[in-house]
Amino acid sequence: MNIDRTIAAVIVIILIIGIIGIFNIISNPTPSEKFTEFYILDGDGKAINYPTNLSVGETANLTVCVVNHEYKTTSYLIKITQDSQVLKEENITLNNDDKKEIPFEFTAGSAGEEKLEFKLYKLPDTENVYRYLYLQIYVT
């Protein structure tokens, strides 16, 4: 009977350790990949009909979206340029899983090709672009 009690005690200890381990894993999950979503939407809030063919002087609307999945509060700088000219610059701070949608209106310039560039910097670094998007526009 002494051996039976020893085996039972070992099994109980193993079960207790297992339950504590499972509880610890459930209550403290390890974060997955850290990243930031950065994308643009058309005037209707969709990622399909971007204003790529415009007439001179025509205005168009876009929405610039940033979603923080960095598992910490993060500050960003969004810089929108056209032919090296800054059209819009905005600082934002987002908590983990927060999303910011920034409306952006622009006017087509002279006839030809134009390139709208959307640069996202993860502050305090303003030298290295963290995420980059662009939209090629044809103006007639």
Q: Band the pLDDT of 31: cuts 50, 70, 90.
A: low
Q: Band the pLDDT of 3: cuts 50, 70, 90.
A: confident
pLDDT digits (tens, 9 = 90+) for 52-110: 999 999 999 999 999 999 999 999 999 999 988 999 999 999 999 999 999 999 998 88
In whole angstroms, give the CA distance from residue 97 to residue 99: 7
69 shares a domain with 89: yes
Nearest to 47 by CA among 96, 101, 98: 101
Q: What is the pLDDT of residue 1?
A: 62
9 shares a domain with 62: no
Mean of pLDDT values over 130-137: 96
Share of the chain above pLDDT 90, in %: 69
118 shares a domain with 73: yes
CATH code (residue 125): 2.60.40.150
